[in-house]
Amino acid sequence: MRKILGYLGRHKWQMTVSLSVKVLASLLELLLPYILKHILDDIITPLDGKTGIDPGEHIRSIVLWAVIMIVCAFFAVAGNVWANRRSALVARNVAEDVRNDLFRRTLRLSPAQTDAFTVPSLESRLTTDTYNIHNFINMMQRMGIRAPILLIGGLAVTSIIDIRLTAVMAAVLPLIFVSFFLITSKGLPMFIKVQKAVDGMIRVVREDAQGIRVIKALSKADYENRRYDAANKGLSSIEGRTNVIMSTANPFMNLFMNGGLVAVVFFGARLVNGGVSEVGSIIAFIQYFTMISGAMMAVTRIFVSWSKASASAERIDEVLRTGEGLPVCSDDEYPGKSGESGIAFEGVNFGYSNTKEVLHDISFSLPEGGKLGIIGATGSGKTTVISLLMRFYDVGSGSVRINGRDVRTIPEEELHSMFGVVMQNDFIRADSVSDNIRFDRDIPDEKIRRAAAIAQADGFIRELEGGYDYLLSSKGTNVSGGQRQRILIARALAGDPGILILDDSSSALDYRTDADLRRAIAENLPHTTTVTVAQRVSSVMSCDLIIVLDEGRITGMGDHGSLLENCPVYRQISESQMGGAFLE
């Protein structure tokens, strides 16, 4: 929580001004019952036994103090309203800063760190948790100053008015604090569980939103409704238990405070009857007690909000304090090989966290400008090889080198600037075709069109309404799957990459379009190293080097002809796809 509150330092001058106004407004509010007591006891007093009092002067005094009371009330209200508006502005700005920093840090997480947090949890931290922080900061500024002033100031003023009644009132305060402390100590851990349950529900919603077409196609809406219902009931259950615990705070406080008020009225009446106190003092005392009661209620709301915010702040801080998942290492730790060019894997073994190894002793080399094809069954480790090449993960043992440099020694921006990549589950955002291809890079329009032409996309793009200015929907649902893949390939080509990675990027293309695409890439990017991951032989058969993966091991390596002769797995795949190979 301390780190999150540190963001307030960026807005210290705004807070200083608004809190100063809040202090003055609260002090004016604190004066109102005392002014009322003065009017009742010192001015509107029965004249029995008093002489020399001018009735006109008496009325003028009443009017004067009434005007003073109205002015104090007006400035107290105006000051609180103005300060509350500034507090809301500060809370908004702080929440915005937290969200910005959290989002930037989220984007910098390594894939392994993202896997550990999970995407639904990161989404929940960016939304629900930052909202809890916003509410707490807003409430802390609005009530965190006013409530203590009214509570402490009220006790101070009432002690001046009548120390005996103050003692009666103060006797209930320890009961309130103890009961509230016991309740919040139980509630805080529950809020953490609530946020974890929110993560689970967001995960289900996210999965269903992404797979809505499959759900409808397989008529599984009822099943997904039950799955969501289970997650929703789990969240409702933990929220219900948390609310039951926290909701006991107000009834206990009301019980103790009303009991204190009854005691004050009872003893106050006895004092008035005994002639040792005045009616104005008792009325002022009751108003102060109401004011103190309201302040105590505000304090409890602050603590409830703090309980939520504290749990959320810990979750946010957990992400913010996460170190670099893949720090750049020194050349001394991982020495390169001078004179080597292209891509090299040497004795690479790798396993994702908490799982067995998925790659075993992967070794191969590809010269700069060469063409590598990786083929194998689903789950054989094809995409994992690409992830290690781009250093989304670090190898368990062995090394991955680019132009003789171990990828662990290459700074992230330098490393990723080498690549143009189309991943299996790549995305299109709601923007124009040209901006999706450009992707916020400084790429002129002529290069955008050239990339689209190589990707076999220029023709259909020009036929769209508006051409390259045609607005794509999120995930590109308003174009076909093959058109979407060609736009993504154009994006990868637009930056003139030194290494082009096509990870199952032509699965939605027909064989002829796929062949035209590969031919255009070979003719227009002769010096680009190309890595093609595919399940179709026709997509890799023209590569200089083809690697056949089976359960994380290389079972065959060579060109198309040699693999047909020497690799049974490759030959079986080729024979099962003879139609595609024949088309070539």
Q: Which of 30, 322, 11 lies closest to 137, judged by CA?
A: 11
State the Cα–Cα distance between residues 373 and 382, nearest whole angstrom: 10
Token reading at 562: 């040699």
Q: Which residue ranges does the chain devote to CATH 3.40.50.300?
A: 426-496
Task: Classify 432 as helix, strand or coil.
Answer: strand
CATH number assigned to the domain covering 426-496: 3.40.50.300
CATH 1.20.1560.10 domain range(s) in the chain = 2-188+246-320
Separation of alpha carbons 333 and 409, rounded Å: 9
Q: Which of 492, 474, 514 is nearest to 423 (CA)?
A: 492
Share of the chain above pLDDT 90, in %: 23
Quick one: pLDDT at residue 47?
46
Report how far residue 293's alpha carbon sits from residue 444's, in angstroms, rounded to the nearest whole number. Answer: 67
pLDDT at 407 (0 to 100): 94
311-349 per-position pLDDT tens digit:
888 889 989 888 887 889 998 999 988 888 899 999 999
H-helix segments, 211-278: 212-217, 221-247, 249-273
- pLDDT number for residue 270: 77
110 touches 323 (CB < 8 A): no
Q: How far apart are CA 175 and CA 153, in angstroms?
A: 20
The pLDDT value given to residue 306: 82
* Residue from 343, 345, 396, 395 nearest 549 by CA: 345
Q: Which helix (H) or strand (E) holds 519?
A: helix 511-524
CA 397/CA 550 separation, integer angstroms: 19
pLDDT of residue 514: 83
In CATH terms, 2-188+246-320 corresponds, of 1.20.1560.10, 3.10.580.10, 2.40.40.20, 1.10.150.120, to 1.20.1560.10
Which amino acid is residue 581, in one-letter code? A
Q: What is this structure's pTM?
A: 0.71
Q: Report the chain (584 residues): mean pLDDT per 10 consecutive residues.
A: 78 87 90 82 58 64 86 91 90 90 88 84 87 89 86 84 78 74 72 78 77 72 84 84 74 75 78 72 80 79 80 88 86 88 93 81 92 88 91 91 93 90 82 90 91 92 91 86 89 90 81 86 89 86 91 91 89 71 41
Q: Cα separation of 396 and 353, whole Å? A: 10
Helix and strand numbers, DSSP H then E, in the chain: 24, 10
Q: Residue 275 burial by CB count (10 A; 0-12/13-18/19+): exposed, middle or buried?
A: exposed
